[in-house]
Structure 1
Amino acid sequence: MKKVILLPAILLVSAIAWYQFSLRPLDSSDDARRPITVQSGLSVRDIGALLELKEIIRSGQAFALYARMHGVTASLQAGDFLLRRSQSVPEIIDALRSGKSEEVSVTIPEGFTVTDMDALLAKKGLIEAGAFTLCAQDCDLSAYDFLPSGAGRAKRGGRVEGYL
């Protein structure tokens, strides 16, 4: 008889502990902003899976369960958001309900090189370090008529550096 009562009690306590743990921030010391695009028409389960895939939250299932339990599934907005791994699930839900994309002001001082710009954008949490430099060197810029041919194909940004 004790086993019949004990097993469900252990399962219930384990489920509650998992749920509470899953709502906590993934990394409370990581304040870097990560861009997330929530497309129109995504279900709360899809949003949770996206956030888990992008390593913003611990569990997409816990995210969806929290949203359902608090009756906010219909109020989550589509859009582009900058979210942090240091945010809890309730904080992320609040950000997604507001529908306001977080804006970041960036001023690139005169004389900055492509490498300097890359470091500044990475410090603001807008890109991964090296991504801007790589694009300045390797991205296809042929659609921009005002750039010289071959722009962006040389070391350190090549001839595109003065246009940035």
Structure 2
Amino acid sequence: MKKLFLIIVVCLLIIGITVETNNKYLFTVNNHEILISIDSGSSLTEVSNELEKQGIVKSSKYFTYYTKLKGLEKNIKAGRYAIPPKIGLNELLDKLQNPQNEYVKVTIPEGYNVFQITQKLVKSNLIDKEIFIKIAKEGLENFKPYDNKGNISYKLEGYLFPDTYFFPEGLNDKDIIDIMIKRFNEKFSDEYRKRARELGLSLHEVVTIASLIEKEAANDKERKTIAGVIYNRIEKNMPLQIDASVIYGITKGERHINRLMYKDLESESEYNTYKYKGLPPGPISSPGQASIEAALYPEKHDYLYYVLGEEGHVFSKTYKEHRRNVEKYIK
């Protein structure tokens, strides 16, 4: 009986190790889309080694074994492939049998708004400007993160994730938007969603705060400090008074205003964070992951004001202190 018990325990351990191993190796490990080329006449071993070298699979040996197990060792074709992050080996093998040789590489910088993203994609001959803008304004039927609490300029503003993309030629405008939204959903992890719930915020509110941080931060180290200022002002029922939001409300992101005038601060736009308290109705740009993290994990402090100094923003707790900083740094 004791011997049988030991056998059962050993078998369970083996099964557990096998399951853990499979989970570890059955998915790609790249964190972003990677473009690879497979030369004509490449062997399965050469393909497997390249996939491991590029950081796509955990083990070239396991990929070779898995491909042979599926009977697909002779099905992999030469060509260029854009490999998405965190996909199963079955999906990877499907891709490697259907090469797409022509890709257009486009990098969307953090902090770009819909209008700027549109301009970038038009220059790469990937979209029709009017169609892309129309979809961005009206949104998608299967993607509605916004709260409908105000007059949003573009329903997809903030959700076209800034990153480097390899777009296959022949995609239409909606295809490209779908890819960028998918990248946003991949980056806004379950951990982020859980944290948003802990803060009592909707996804839309988090992305809106992150977009403000993206436009305001002068460097990475002050993102969470600026996030703390935003939360502090909201808690004290103070207007945010963020110039970038006012500018977005006036221009819809189509141009930049170097200096706001007093008349601008009286604009009736709901993005006017001098006139209306709380958050603007939606994001004003596409925030990167660092700004999203800052929105979710703000620095705790008592600062309520900041002004741009010589090496980033200078923060203060009182208006009197802030006025001294303004006189010092604003010429």
Smaller-chain TM-score bracket: 0.5 to 0.7
Checking the alignment, whether the CA contact within 8 Å between 1:38 and 1:79 is kept in structure 2 is: yes
Tell me the residue number matched to 1:125: 165
Q: How far apart in 1 are the matches of 2:102 and 2:9?
A: 48
Greater RCO, CA 8 A, separation 6+: 1
Checking the alignment, whether the CA contact within 8 Å between 1:26 and 1:85 is kept in structure 2 is: yes
Tell me the residue number matched to 1:21: 24
Tell me the residue number matched to 1:40: 40
Checking the alignment, whether the CA contact within 8 Å between 2:105 and 2:164 is kept in structure 1 is: no
Name the amino acid aligned to 1:18: T
**1:9 shift after superposition:** 5.4
Tell me the residue number matched to 1:10: 13
CA RMSD of aligned residues (A): 3.0
**1:13 shift after superposition:** 3.8
Name the amino acid aligned to 2:78: A
Checking the alignment, whether the CA contact within 8 Å between 2:105 and 2:165 is kept in structure 1 is: no
Q: How far apart in 1 are the matches of 2:10 and 2:46?
A: 32
Q: How far apart in 2 are the matches of 1:44 and 1:12?
A: 28
Q: How far apart in 2 are the matches of 1:7 and 1:65?
A: 25
Tell me the residue number matched to 1:92: 92
More deviation, 101-110/58-67: 101-110
Q: How far apart in 2 are the matches of 1:68 and 1:12?
A: 22
**1:104 shift after superposition:** 3.3
| CA distances 1:104-151 after superposition (whole Å, capped 9, x unpaired) | 3754749xxxxxxxxxxx93335xxxxxxxxxxxxxxxxxxxxxxxxx
Which blocks of at least 5 consecutive residues in structure 2 are unaligned? 107-120, 125-161, 167-331
Tell me the residue number matched to 1:154: none
Name the amino acid aligned to 2:163: K
TM-score by length of 2: 0.29
Q: How far apart in 2 are the matches of 1:77 and 1:37?
A: 10
TM-score by length of 1: 0.54
Percent identical pairs in the alignment equals 19
- Runs of 4+ aligned structure 1 residues displaced above 6 Å come to none
Q: How far apart in 1 are the matches of 2:9 and 2:43?
A: 36
Name the amino acid aligned to 1:124: T
Partner SS for 1:77: coil
Partner SS for 1:73: coil
Q: How far apart in 1 are the matches of 2:64 and 2:29?
A: 16
**1:10 shift after superposition:** 3.0
Partner SS for 2:103: coil
Which blocks of at least 5 consecutive residues in structure 1 are unaligned? 111-121, 127-164
Q: How far apart in 1 are the matches of 2:102 and 2:64?
A: 22
- Which one has the largest radius of gyration? 2
Q: How far apart in 2 are the matches of 1:102 and 1:89?
A: 23
Q: How far apart in 2 are the matches of 1:37 and 1:98?
A: 13
Tell me the residue number matched to 2:250: none
Name the amino acid aligned to 1:19: N
| CA distances 1:31-81 after superposition (whole Å, capped 9, x unpaired) | x32121112222223212211111112222222122111111110011121
Tell me the residue number matched to 2:52: 52
